[in-house]
Amino acid sequence: MERGPAVRAPLYLQPRLEPPLSSLLEAASFLHSLADALGSPLNVLLPDRIVENAAGFRGVYREHHLTGRVYFAHKANQAHSLVRRLTATDPAAVGIDVASLGELRHALECGFTADRIMATGPKDREFLWLAARTGACVNIDSPAELEQLAGLIRAYDLPRADVLLRLTEFEASASAASGARVLFRRSRFGSPVREVDRLLDAVDRHRDAVRLTGVAYHLDTTGVAEKAVALESCITVMDECRARGMDPRVIDIGGGFGVGYVADAGQWEHYTTELAEAVLGTRPALTWRGHGYGLRNEGGTLRGAQALYPAHRPTAGPGYLDELLAHTAPVSGRPLGTLLLEHLYDLVCEPGRALVDQCGLTLARVLDVRRAGADSDDVLVRLGMNAGDVSLEEHGVLVDPVLLPRPGAQQDADGGPVGVYLAGNLCLEADLITRRKVFLPRMPHPGDLMAFANTAGYAMDFHAHHAQRQPVARTVAVTGEGDTWRWCLDEEYWPITRGGPVS
Ligand SMILES: *Cc1c(COP(=O)(O)O)cnc(C)c1O
């Protein structure tokens, strides 16, 4: 198709790619043959990379001389291969955090022994029962849940359960030396830290049924200051527990270490600046029908707040953990890692998104390319997937897909950068894969593939559905590198080779 009026300089948000994901994306004919055989959309996982990521977190523990496990927050991805690959790592180093009865059953079935499993989130009776029955650690979400667990253990003669108390509503001390205001967001999960005494009374009362092994928090924020307050508060609560004669050892700092999706800081800054200009109308539109990603134009003034994931991040994943441990505690003024070390507390973290960083991609076939309307210059590219199959937008993650032309297909002679909107395969106006104009190095053609890189964290199966009987993505696991890629269906993957040991 013809190109529209000359686009301004393209505003790319190129993905951050590391091996083996970067070399997998170069294997275009391999990816095309997978999609030809297994359909569109298709999730492709790199289970070996999750082990490297876990090792990255463990490396930070080692630098700070800390002991304790890294638990994978299963909710980020439901695939078998990632969980099975993790079971084959050092049991003392890596565990799994499950947030539903189904995830607990899956972890057990994949080979995790219960001593490596942490049950988090609000739980129903069956989930609590199976956790206690098998001997998983229960991260207690509320006082009522503690009562319910103790009741089940007595009623069904279950073994005494290890419990952590998840705390919330931490408050920055007025005497904090920095004087910086730390804002806390409310959470529906956990028990308010100011009511911890009552919770400890309950633990005491139920000591025949439960054994307190520590305290926990999980804050869905990128703010290190906020997490520093929470971590130091947890250390204080641990001291209180010891004063009561309890012997807790573990502080669980949850997840939220983040992922850098966009490689280049300059591209990210430029894009977000231009997005604000577009909302104000001082440059051509960058989004579908005035969508503002949280921003709006009120009489020439920019209002609202950009509801975007910080897609370029100077520190993320293990680097973010390192930053937190090096951060000075707001009250004591000493590094948090040092405080943990001096108390000989085990550190537990539960990365979800960060542990599956670079662990896979999602492929979609280009179905057709057309103008958005008779009076519109906008180009719509319809893909063989819907917004539920790649929920980057849902999570506010803006990053470009990688165009993989069909091998052997004719290339455009005049091909140059274009800005397009990506639409899904549902008969629903709202089914857009991107509500922003995505800039590509050339116009896509039917038969090309679009590869969404780094989708293993929440973007593959968290929102997938069967609307209109469109297929949900199949998932495959691939191993190897260069031109020796091997693949199998996700459900067929086990961390062993059929003919001999894993290389
Ligand atoms: C979701 C969740 C995590 C993982 O969060 P990420 O942002 O993916 O790292 C960890 N712990 C708990 C309790 C959670 O609910």
Please tell me the predicted confidence (pLDDT) of residue 469: 87
Q: Which of 350, 355, 356 to mutate to test the pocket of ligand 1 (most atoms within 8 A of CB)?
A: 350
Q: Report the distance separating Cα 191 and Cα 215, nearest Å.
A: 11
| Residues forming beta bridges with residue 162, ordered by sequence position | 211
Q: Report the distance separating Cα 422 and Cα 186, nearest Å.
A: 35
Q: Report the distance separating Cα 154 and Cα 249, nearest Å.
A: 25
For the chain, give every residue range classified as CATH 3.20.20.10: 48-258+313-348
Q: Report the distance separating Cα 461 and Cα 459, nearest Å.
A: 6
Please tell me the predicted confidence (pLDDT) of residue 410: 73
Please tell me the predicted confidence (pLDDT) of residue 409: 79
CA-proximal residue: ligand 1, atom 5 (nearest): 255
How does pLDDT run across 423-442, given as a tens digit for each residue?
A: 998 888 788 999 999 999 99
Please tell me the predicted confidence (pLDDT) of residue 427: 85
Atom of ligand 1 nearest to the CA of 257: 9
Strand extents, DSSP E, 307-406:
346-348, 360-371, 379-383, 402-404
Atom of ligand 1 nearest to the CA of 220: 7
Q: Which of 100, 117, 118, 120 to mutate to test the pocket of ligand 1 (most atoms within 8 A of CB)?
A: 120
Q: Report the distance separating Cα 500 and Cα 458, nearest Å.
A: 33
What percent of the chain is helix, strand and coil (3-state, nearest 5)? Answer: 30, 20, 45
Give, for 45, the enclosing helix (H) or strand (E): strand 42-45
> What spacing in Å lies between the alpha carbon of 349 and ligand 1's midpoint?
9
pLDDT < 50: residue spans in the chain: 1-7, 175-177
One-letter identity of residue 131: A
How does pLDDT run across 454-503, given as a tens digit for each residue?
A: 999 999 988 989 888 888 999 999 998 667 899 999 999 999 976 655 55
Atom of ligand 1 nearest to the CA of 457: 8
The CATH number of 21-46+358-492 is 2.40.37.10
> What spacing in Å lies between the alpha carbon of 270 and ligand 1's midpoint?
30
Nearest to 254 by CA among 203, 187, 311: 187
Which residue is it, tokens 């280049």?
A: 264
Please tell me the predicted confidence (pLDDT) of residue 2: 45
Classify residue 156 by its DSSP letter. T
How does DSSP assign 95-131, residue by residue? Answer: EEEE-SHHHHHHHHHHT--GGGEEE-SS--HHHHHHH
Taking CA atoms, 361 is separated from 41, 159, 197, 264, 315, in Å, by 11, 42, 47, 19, 22
> What spacing in Å lies between the alpha carbon of 405 and ligand 1's midpoint?
36
Q: Report the distance separating Cα 70 and Cα 495, nearest Å.
A: 19
Please tell me the predicted confidence (pLDDT) of residue 182: 62
Taking CA atoms, 109 is separated from 103, 105, 113, in Å, by 10, 6, 9
Q: Report the distance separating Cα 384 and Cα 338, nearest Å.
A: 51
Indicate the SS3 state at residue 455.
coil
Burial class (CB in 10 A: 0-12, 13-18, 19+), 85: buried
Q: Which of 53, 74, 97 to mutate to test the pocket of ligand 1 (most atoms within 8 A of CB)?
A: 97
Q: List, chain by chain if needed, residues with CB within 6 Å of any ligand 1 atom.
A: 73, 75-76, 97, 120-121, 218, 254-257, 350-354
Atom of ligand 1 nearest to the CA of 353: 8
Q: Report the distance separating Cα 421 and Cα 419, nearest Å.
A: 7
> What spacing in Å lies between the alpha carbon of 235 and ligand 1's midpoint?
20
CA-proximal residue: ligand 1, atom 8 (nearest): 352
Sign of CA dihedral 62, 65, 67, 73: negative
> What spacing in Å lies between the alpha carbon of 355 and ligand 1's midpoint?
11
> What spacing in Å lies between the alpha carbon of 186 and ligand 1's midpoint?
16
> What spacing in Å lies between the alpha carbon of 351 and ligand 1's midpoint?
6
Q: Which CATH superfamily is domain 48-258+313-348 in?
A: Alanine racemase (3.20.20.10)
> What spacing in Å lies between the alpha carbon of 441 and ligand 1's midpoint?
36
Name the token pair of 233. 């508060």
> What spacing in Å lies between the alpha carbon of 14 and ligand 1's midpoint?
26
Instruction: Give the chain's end-to-end CA distance (angstroms, integer).
Output: 48
> What spacing in Å lies between the alpha carbon of 279 and ligand 1's midpoint?
33
Bond from prior residue into 20 cis (ω within 30 degrees of 0): yes
CA-proximal residue: ligand 1, atom 10 (nearest): 255
